[in-house]
Chains A and B, each alone.
Chain A
Amino acid sequence: MSDDFVDEPGSVRALVLDLQRQVYPTTPGVRRPVANDHARALEAARKLAQALDDESALCRLHALATADDLDVAGAHDIALDLVRVLSSDITQIRAIDRARTLTQTLAQTLDIPYPDSLLKGRRAIEIDGTSIAGRKSRAQQSTAALRLTETVARMLPTENRTRYGEEFGSELADIALAGGGRWAQMAYAVRQVRCVWQLRAELRRRRSGAFR
């Protein structure tokens, strides 16, 4: 940690140390080791947050420094920042995995029992990540194409509808994830419509045991 950061009034480190003195009154000049950990963690958070927005980062850090449970708030915020920063470059799931690892490392560094004090933070990260990932996949998927494939599945023998409905949906999602737009998905659905009678005939033959 740089020295200029220590002396700067209103800096993250100063805020943390003030908070630390209020929570754990000690002899002036003697800093508890845990305060340094907090300051280090928050400085890392500041650097991560700076990549997004300096002003909002400072506001968030002030909120963090005055949070009731600094450990949880700090760990959660760093991990969440990481999710947000990484999600633009790599898949959301990888980002969440990285965030989880970081959260666990932070818990070990701060010597906090992970399941008790950080579970809430971890859950929040999972919920945030899943909802963001969900929004993305929903945005990419074509509802019209999905409905069309569902209709195709309904034209198949009863016992095969669920399987093919799910399989078509899965392939549509794969097309969307591969960058296929609405037209690509619609083209896939139309091809299913064209093939449905062949597929239906095959499945009926299977049911009647033909060629067995």
Chain B
Amino acid sequence: MSKSPTGLRMTLATQLVLRAMLAEPTRETYGLQICHDAGLPSGTIHPILARLERLGWLESWWEAVVPQEEGRPRRRYYRLTEDGAECARVALAQATTTTTALRLRPADGSA
């Protein structure tokens, strides 16, 4: 597990969520859709989303619909902020580099 310069723990699940959201950075999406795109089980991403929101990488808002007309409750939508998308790209690149470096390190530990 690596840490981004902002202090974000780049767990595998966090990386998957960021990759899924970076696929279409301007798209407004909701929890279950993010889970689906990231290939994670439903209901496991709220801590990650809360962390990203706390860092200002994500913004969220309630869907502007009338539940009676839609036949379902309103959804909470999420989108990467402009800064968030940039930070996410850097953090992901760094996490990938770290992972690659670890993988390429010789067995005796000499780099």
Question: A residues touching B (Cβ–Cβ < 8 Å)?
Answer: 91-93, 130, 133, 137, 163-164, 166-167, 169-171, 173-175, 177, 187-189, 191-192, 195, 198-199, 201-203, 205-206, 211-212
From B6, B41, B75, name the one whose CB has the most chain A CB atoms within 10 angstroms: B75
Q: Are A195 and B44 in contact (CB under 8 A)?
A: yes
Q: Are A173 and B73 in contact (CB under 8 A)?
A: yes
Q: Are A164 and B46 in contact (CB under 8 A)?
A: yes
Q: Are A192 and B75 in contact (CB under 8 A)?
A: no
Q: How many angstroms between the C-alpha atoms of A212 and B53 in the bound complex? A: 11
* Consensus secondary structure, chain A interface: helix
Q: Enumerate B26-66 residues with CB–CB distance to A below 8 Å.
A: 30-32, 41-44, 46-47, 50-51, 53-55
Instruction: Determine how close the nearest CB of chain B comes to the CB of A143; give it in whole angstroms.
Output: 15
B105 CB-CB contact with A under 8 Å = no
Instruction: Determine how close the nearest CB of chain A comes to the CB of B75; give it in whole angstroms.
Output: 5
| Interface size range of chain B in the complex | 20 to 34
Q: If the complex has contacts A133-B71, A137-B71, A170-B72, are A192 and B43 also in contact, measured as CB distance less than 8 A?
A: yes
Q: CB-nearest residue of chain A relative to B76? A: A167
**Chain A residues, CB < 8 A from B41:** 187, 191
**Chain B residues, CB < 8 A from A201:** 47
**Chain B residues, CB < 8 A from A133:** 71
Q: CB-nearest residue of chain B relative to A191? A: B43
Q: Are A205 and B32 in contact (CB under 8 A)?
A: no
Contact of A199 among B7, B47, B70 (CB under 8 A): B47
Contact of A211 among B43, B54, B72 (CB under 8 A): B54
Top 4 closest A-B pairs, CB basis?
A: A191-B43, A198-B47, A202-B50, A170-B73
Q: Are A195 and B76 in contact (CB under 8 A)?
A: no
Q: Are B46 and A195 in contact (CB under 8 A)?
A: yes
Q: Are A171 and B44 in contact (CB under 8 A)?
A: no
Instruction: Determine how close the nearest CB of chain A comes to the CB of B89; give it in whole angstroms.
Output: 19
From A163, A202, A203, name the one whose CB has the most chain B CB atoms within 10 angstroms: A202
Q: Are A171 and B68 in contact (CB under 8 A)?
A: no
Kindly list 15 other residue pairs between chains A and B, CB separation below 8 angstroms, not including A167-B76, A191-B44: A91-B71, A137-B72, A166-B74, A167-B46, A167-B75, A170-B30, A170-B74, A171-B32, A173-B72, A174-B75, A175-B42, A177-B71, A192-B46, A195-B44, A199-B46
Instruction: Determine how close the nearest CB of chain A comes to the CB of B64; give it in whole angstroms.
Output: 14
Q: Are B43 and A188 in contact (CB under 8 A)?
A: yes
Q: How many angstroms between the C-alpha atoms of A187 and B41 in the bound complex? A: 9
Q: Are B76 and A211 in contact (CB under 8 A)?
A: no
Please, could you name 27 A-B residue pairs with CB atoms under 8 Å apart, sorted by A? A92-B71, A93-B70, A130-B68, A163-B76, A167-B76, A170-B73, A171-B30, A171-B31, A171-B43, A171-B75, A173-B73, A174-B30, A174-B75, A175-B32, A177-B72, A187-B41, A188-B43, A191-B44, A199-B50, A202-B47, A202-B50, A203-B50, A205-B54, A206-B50, A206-B53, A211-B6, A211-B55
Instruction: Determine how close the nearest CB of chain A comes to the CB of B8; give it in whole angstroms.
Output: 8
Q: How many angstroms between the C-alpha atoms of A203 and B47 in the bound complex? A: 8
